[in-house]
Amino acid sequence: MEKSSNKSFQAQARRPVQLNVEISPELEAIYSNFVMLTHSPSELVLDFARLLPRAPKARVHARIIMTPLNAKLLYKALEENLAKFEERFGEIKLTEPSFEEPRPMGFVPPQD
């Protein structure tokens, strides 16, 4: 009898749960092109910042603190969604950013 109820519990635990997520109209979207990661044994801290061309510093606009488990779930979700994105739009090419050399943006005057 106990094995039967245990199987029933496991089957219920595997069913997807519908979650209603409310996004407030006042929520501001933040653009980030740079993230710094730090961690302790119990949490990961993601600081989202914006780097501007030729600016000496980046300003952090959002900080997210997660458990290692939730960070791993985020990693898996990103991996899955990036694979779908690349399947549809093509491979995302990685370049090695250089913070030492100036990276021109926009109009670049001709060099004599």
Q: Smallest Cα–Cα separation from 2: which of 77, 10, 58, 32?
A: 10
Give the residue with greater pLDDT, 9 vs 64: 64
CA distance 51 to 32: 8
Residue 102 — pLDDT band, cuts 50, 70, 90?
low
Residue 18 — pLDDT band, cuts 50, 70, 90?
confident
Residue 67 — pLDDT band, cuts 50, 70, 90?
very high
The answer to whether residues 100 and 52 touch, using CB atoms and an 8 Å cutoff, is no
Supply 33's token pair: 């092109």
Q: Smallest Cα–Cα separation from 37: which of 76, 78, 68?
A: 68
Return the bridge partners of 24, or none.
none
Domain boundaries, the chain: 30-91
Percent helix, percent strand, percent coil in the chain, to nearest 5 = 30, 20, 50
